[in-house]
Structure 1
Amino acid sequence: MLRLSRQLDYGKPAPAFALPDVTGKIREIGEFADKPALLVAFICNHCPFVLHILDGFIDFAREYEAKGLQVVAISSNWPDDYPDDDYPHMQKLAAERDFPFPYLHDEDQDVALAYNAICTPDFFLYDRDRLLYYAGQFDASRPKINRPPVPGLPPLRTDLPVTGEDMRRAVDALLAGDPAPQPQHPSAGCSIKWRPGKDPSWG
């Protein structure tokens, strides 16, 4: 199901996390305290919206690491209906694509709930004080998928290249000490796949 990011809690602190990466090492938000910017990205392995931007997102992460941005990717999907989202497949994808960022497994989905994540991809960019600065799309490019138009939503821009334009603009402004760019357009993607009984009212 297509979802749009919720874009809530601007100025609120980043929720803490302590999650295993694809090597089994527990990664915590505090270990990145020296970075002037932190981008927490909720992604998964199977989602066509994630796969559409993935190469561009990896290139972006490598480029902006040198500028002071720390990227952390988190997969929270319950894999019963989508086995490609399980932990072994996370390990495989991270190795195949040579992820330049930690890829964390949120098995109990508590971190996704704490961040108010709703879709993949869903992006949360935090400033040096770890206050939410930007919560919008990577860019306006969308994959070609078979689905009817959603009433009330604009058509997906499948004709656009993946550039990361919106995220680049946001990170550049943050690192320059400028206000967050406006408007912040929501990210669009597949709904997070919640455990039975875990899905929130807004999920």
Structure 2
Amino acid sequence: MASTYSTMLPLGTNAPDFKLLDAVSDKLLSLSNVKAEKGTVVMFICNHCPYVIHVLDEVLAIASEYQLKGVGFVAISSNDVVNYPEDGPEQMKIMAREKAFPFPYLYDETQEVARAYQAACTPDFYVFDADLKCVYRGRLDASTPRNGLPLTGKDLRNALDAALLDKAVREEEQLPSMGCNIKWKS
């Protein structure tokens, strides 16, 4: 399990638009379909990554909690499905249904969206304010599959709480996410 760190999209960056297939509904969804009044979380995940598997239940809990506060959530999988078929749309649909994802799970077949967001690993989290400006990028919390620290979602929760209050998250509180690298096509 090789670890890769996120590349930290510059703060203030406008959320890159997209139009991607939702693996569950089989509909094309864009950023405007998933954004919400108070802010939007865009996260890059996949089915097979042990880091994603480790944090997924906490991510689902945070999404369920903060959607009630006016924050939108979307998950995107950008992995090469030729070499990682477990990350393909059919498997995405199965996982999203089994886990009852409260947000769309989109398939980035061309990997253009991952490149636009400068995504490097799974999981990778981005918080955008009501104007779709990046106010946070980084990790969920300090827990990883191997370090034994409890999952709290502290870093993402702090960022969302700050965004809801129109407060900035200090740069030193924005630590890169760590996970499996995005499986780029050859």
For Structure 1 versus Structure 2, the TM-score category normalised by the shorter chain is: over 0.9
Percentage identity across aligned positions?
45
Cα pair 1:169 1:181 within 8 Å, conserved: no
Find the aligned partners of 1:31 and 1:24 in 2 and give their Cα distance. 14
Q: Does 1:93 align with 2:95?
A: yes
Following superposition of structure 1 onto structure 2, how do residues 1-203 of structure 1 map, counting pairs within 5 Å? 1-22=2-23, 23-144=25-146, 158-183=147-172, 184-196=174-186
Q: Give the TM-score, by structure 1 length.
A: 0.87
Deviation string, structure 1 residues 124-165 (Cα, Å, up to 9, x no partner): 110111011000100000002xxxxxxxxxxxxx22111100
Q: Give the TM-score, by structure 2 length.
A: 0.95
- Aligned-residue offset at 1:31: 2.4
SS of equivalent to 2:138 = coil
SS of equivalent to 2:82 = coil
Deviation string, structure 1 residues 162-200 (Cα, Å, up to 9, x no partner): 11000000000010111113411110000000111xxxx
Query: Which runs of 5 or more residues in structure 1 are unaligned?
Result: 145-157, 197-203
Aligned residues: 183
Query: Which runs of 5 or more residues in structure 2 are unaligned?
Result: none
Q: Which has the larger radius of gyration?
A: 1
- Aligned-residue offset at 1:80: 2.4
SS of equivalent to 1:88 = helix
Deviation string, structure 1 residues 57-92 (Cα, Å, up to 9, x no partner): 101100110011101000000022222111110010
Find the aligned partners of 1:61 and 1:16 in 2 and give their Cα distance. 21
SS of equivalent to 2:184 = coil
Residue identity opposite 1:46 in structure 2: H
